[in-house]
Amino acid sequence: MSLKKIGAIGGAISVALCWPIAVGQIGERIYLDTVGKYENPYLKITSESYDRGYLTSQAVSRIEIKDEFKPVFEEEGLPTVYHVDHQLEHGFFGVKSFSQLELDDNVKELAAELWGSDIPPVTFTTDTALTRTTKFKVVVNPIAYKDDFGGSVASQPMIFKGVVDAKGAGEFHYHLPQLNVTSSANETMALHNFAGGGKGRMDGQFWLGTQQATLDSVTFTDSQNDKSMSLKNLSVDMSNVLKEPDAKSEGAEENTRLTNINGVKVAEIVSVDGKKYENFNFSLSFADLDYPAIQRLGAMSDDINEQMTLEQQKEALLALDLLVAKGLSLAVDDLSVTTPEGDVRSYVRFTVSPGLARASQSVEKIAEKLTGAIMLEVPKALVEKNPVAAERVKMMEQAQIVEVKDDKFVLNMQVEGDKVILANGDQLPLGMLFMLFM
């Protein structure tokens, strides 16, 4: 069995477990209602059966991979429909459940190779109170696999647990202590302490709240060619926050704004050529996005094929027009890293003021509403290692677009409408800004 197939199986299991369904809800009606209202961009979940008893009940849920993701599973010969058996126990204060993924004959043999005979790949338990608040725990059991060609996969249990209330809001945490993969070509990956979590709720296709993930280290090694690369102390953060006006105010729903903030930090990266890069930081944010417009674009993403219909094009342009008309901000507040040649620092910030109607029909007018700032500092030694970049920067220095300070090339620009203002006060047309970096 190929490592690619192992990865596909792992992905199948992970997708099939996405947000532990409607298990353990109080009573058949609630169970059926919750399954019917379950929303997920990757899965469709329905109830196959619910056999109600006095102290215990049995239920079966059907999980189907949605059309756009089916080819990923079909290419590896994996099912696109899964079933989950639920054993429910009724108590005085709620319902507890224990659930397992059903394996058909096509998957049983593969699962036995990875997890062992009669060992379920995944189990999950829930404990639902009378208030419908549900605590859940998902365990992906350890993998111990070896093939006849030197390939292997070994992992410790991955645990995913959390709590969700009746309105769908909750928090979750997950942890994978260790994963080791070896290919038949003696290429290895060693991953240590992958963990994360989140707090919030799903609103259609959008997660409203926070999520974060951390990774202590991951190392890739090619023993045959004596090459390796590694990464230490990775952290990723994301938040989506809605700013909602007073519900009593006119047009409150239409004026709801979304702010999205994303951050990535890496303490150390060692490249294949042995160079060490430290303190990598990346921070990207979108502020004051018109939420109804974002929802319209998100709802369309499931239906848009590679070739958009005329109607889809019109709908997308209307949503984009609304997005621009209400104003928005984009910022890369921090893109920096310490290289062997020195520190690289930069930021880019743009704001489009509200008030521009039908932007798609007059794209050039967006510049009239645009303000922003650009800053970049790069060590001379780093630039001079690349002849093409060195020649380009030399031309920019001669044109006084960049300056030299403390053995660094420094670029500072302000954007005001259709003009770029340099650090020395000179002005350039906005179009020149794009030509400089092409």
Could you please report the per-residue DSSP string of 295-312?
Answer: HHHHHHHTT--SS--HHH
DSSP string, 329-387: EEEEEEEEEEETTEEEEEEEEEEE-S----GGG-GGGGGGGEEEEEEEEEEHHHHTTSH
The string of DSSP codes covering 156-189 is PPEEEEEEE-TTS-EEEEEEEEEEEEE-TTSEEE
| pLDDT for position 115 | 87
266 inside domain: yes
Residues 307 and 375 grouped into a single domain: no
CA–CA dist 421, 401 (Å, integer): 10
Number of structural domains, the chain? Answer: 3
Q: Is residue 69 part of a domain?
A: yes
Q: Please tell me whether residues 99 and 236 are part of one structural domain.
A: no
Closest CA to 205 of 13, 415, 40: 40
Domain assignment of residue 152, yes or no: no
pTM: 0.83
Residue 348 in any domain: the answer is: no
Residue 166 belongs to some domain of the structure: no
| pLDDT for position 337 | 98
Residues 314 and 419 in one domain: no
Give CA–CA dist 372/364, Å, rounded. Answer: 16
The parent domain of residue 219 ranges over: 185-343
Give the pLDDT confidence score for residue 62 in this predicted structure.
83
Asked which of 141, 176, 209 is the last residue of a domain, the reply is 141
Residues 211 and 337 in one domain: yes
Pairing type for strands 94-101 and 328-339 reads unpaired
Say yes or no: 227 and 334 in one domain.
Answer: yes
Is residue 327 domain-shared with residue 264, that is, in the same domain? yes
Q: Which of 141, 172, 197 is the last residue of a domain?
A: 141
Q: Are residues 327 and 387 in the same domain?
A: no
Task: Classify residue 101: in a domain, yes or no.
Answer: yes
327 and 375 share a domain?
A: no
Same domain? For 237 and 311 the reply is: yes
From first to last of its 438 residues, what are the pLDDT tens digits of the chain?
Answer: 555 544 544 544 444 443 333 333 334 444 555 554 555 556 777 777 878 776 788 888 888 887 777 887 788 777 888 888 888 787 767 778 888 888 877 778 888 888 888 888 888 888 878 777 888 898 999 999 998 888 999 999 999 999 988 787 899 999 999 999 999 888 999 999 999 999 998 887 788 999 999 999 999 999 888 899 999 999 999 999 998 876 555 555 568 999 999 999 999 999 999 999 999 999 999 999 999 999 888 877 655 556 677 888 888 888 889 999 999 999 999 999 999 999 999 999 999 999 988 888 887 888 889 999 999 999 999 999 999 989 989 888 888 889 999 899 999 999 999 899 998 888 888 877 767 666
Residues 285 and 412 in one domain: no
Question: Quick one: 235 and 100 in the same domain?
Answer: no
Structure tokens of 192?
């240590």
Evaluate whether residue 249 is within a structural domain: yes
The predicted structure's pLDDT at residue 131: 78
Residue 306 has what pLDDT? 60
Residue 352 near residue 328, CB atoms below 8 Å:
yes
- Regarding whether 392 and 305 lie in a shared domain, the answer is no
Q: Measure the CA–CA gap between 140 and 10, rounded to whole angstroms.
A: 9
